[in-house]
Every structure is written in C-alpha cells, then in structure tokens.
Amino acid sequence: MKTKILETATELFLNLGFKSVTMDDLSEHMGISKKTIYAHFENKTDLVDQCTMGLFHTISHGIDCICDLGKNPIEELYEIKKLAYHYLKNEKASPQFQLKKYYPAIYNKLHQKQYEIMKDCVVENIRRGIEMGIYRENLNVEFVALIYFTGVTSIKDESLFPKARFTQTELMDMYLEYHLRGIVTPKGRTILNNIINSNHE
C-alpha cells in the first residue's frame, strides 16, 4: 500500500503541485482513509520528502543504466534528456517552484543530490568526449560541468522562462543543443547534427 500511495502522490504532485494537493485530496483520489496514509507517513512533509527522493532515485538509476550502455557522449546526453522528459512530462504546476517555496529544506536536499549526481555524470561525459575527439580538448571540464548544471536548473525557473513562451520540451532541446554546440569539435558537430536531424524527421 505504501508503494501505491507514493506512486499516486507523486503523480498528483507533478500534475497539481506540492502545495495544491492535500492529504484529503489524496485519500479521496485513492478511495482510502487518511488514517491509512498516516499509517505509512508521519505527515504531508514526510510524504513530499519520500515522493521527491523516490523520483530522484528512479531517475538516477535510469541515468546510471544509460551511462552503462557505452554510447558516445553526445548520444548519451540525448538519452538522458529523453529519460528526464519521460518522468517529468506530466508537470503542469511548476512542482520545482512549489517545492522551493513551501518545502525549502526538501528542495535544498534534492538540489544538492542532483548536483552531486549530475556533476559526476557530466564530468565523465566531457572527459570521454575529449578522449574520443568529439569535444574540444582545451575545455575546463569542471567549469563546463558546473555551467551545464546551472543551466539545467535555471530553465525550470518560470520567472525566467514562462510556460506561455516556452514548453519544457523546447527548453530541454534548445539548452542541450546550446551546451553541445559550445564544446563539440567538427567531428562532434557532425554527430550532433545527425541526431538533431533524425529527431526532426
């Protein structure tokens, strides 16, 4: 039952926002009593924390699996982007914004964990790309990794990128291309263009 509650709550939070969904909403949606929910979770903050961390670990595991496939670094980043979009495609209520505003301690914990995972992943991605000759060899690897993480985080800020002007898919596509065009060699540019062209077909 706990797993079912987590799955349902995560879906509702992504669709409606962390603040908007109440424990009453969740119990009514699932057709169970609030007492059943509280048998597994101390309070709503505990539920939000476990949902957030659960989704984080699911996506992190997916990223690890993609990295284990041994794809070239440019393809790897596009596969990770697809994975993230698959899990976050139903976002309709700026869950990151609500998390930051109403559950800052959980947001900060998530942000730090995202940073640790992404930094390691991107640093390794850049190093492999340089070794393969598809990224420029004069890159400052740590700087590029930090800038990439900062950008990925910033495009979720609706005050900077309002949904009325940009969809999340457009932002992810444009940002990834922006990042890669700044670091690829001519050889890497050919791979990148082929991926972009195939995605548009």
* Domain locations in the chain as residue ranges: 44-200
Using the structure block, give the residue that is written with the tokens 């263009």: 193
Residue scoring higher pLDDT (89 or 76): 76
Q: How confident is the model at residue 90 (pLDDT cuts 50, 70, 90)?
A: low
- H/E segment holding residue 176: helix 168-181
- Residue 86: its pLDDT value, please? 82
Q: Residue 111 and residue 181: Cα distance in Å, rounded?
A: 26
Determine the straight-line distance between the first and last CA of the chain, rounded to whole angstroms.
43
Q: Which of 132, 168, 140 is nearest to 152 (CA)?
A: 168
Q: How confident is the model at residue 117 (pLDDT cuts 50, 70, 90)?
A: confident
Question: Is 129's pLDDT higher than 80?
Answer: yes
Q: How confident is the model at residue 89 (pLDDT cuts 50, 70, 90)?
A: low
- Residue 93: its pLDDT value, please? 55
Q: Which of 50-64, 109-123, 145-159 has the highest mean pLDDT?
A: 50-64
Q: Residue 127 and residue 105: Cα distance in Å, rounded?
A: 33
- H/E segment holding residue 34: helix 34-38
CB 174 within 8 A of CB 135: no
Q: Residue 73 and residue 122: Cα distance in Å, rounded?
A: 9
Residues of the chain with pLDDT > 90: what percent?
68
- The CATH code belonging to domain 44-200 is 1.10.357.10
Q: Residue 184 and residue 52: Cα distance in Å, rounded?
A: 34
Radius of gyration in angstroms for the set of CA atoms belonging to the chain, rounded to a whole number: 19
Q: How confident is the model at residue 120 (pLDDT cuts 50, 70, 90)?
A: confident
HSE at residue 119, side-chain half, CA atoms within 13 A, is 11
In angstroms, how far is CA 15 from the centroid of its own chain? 15
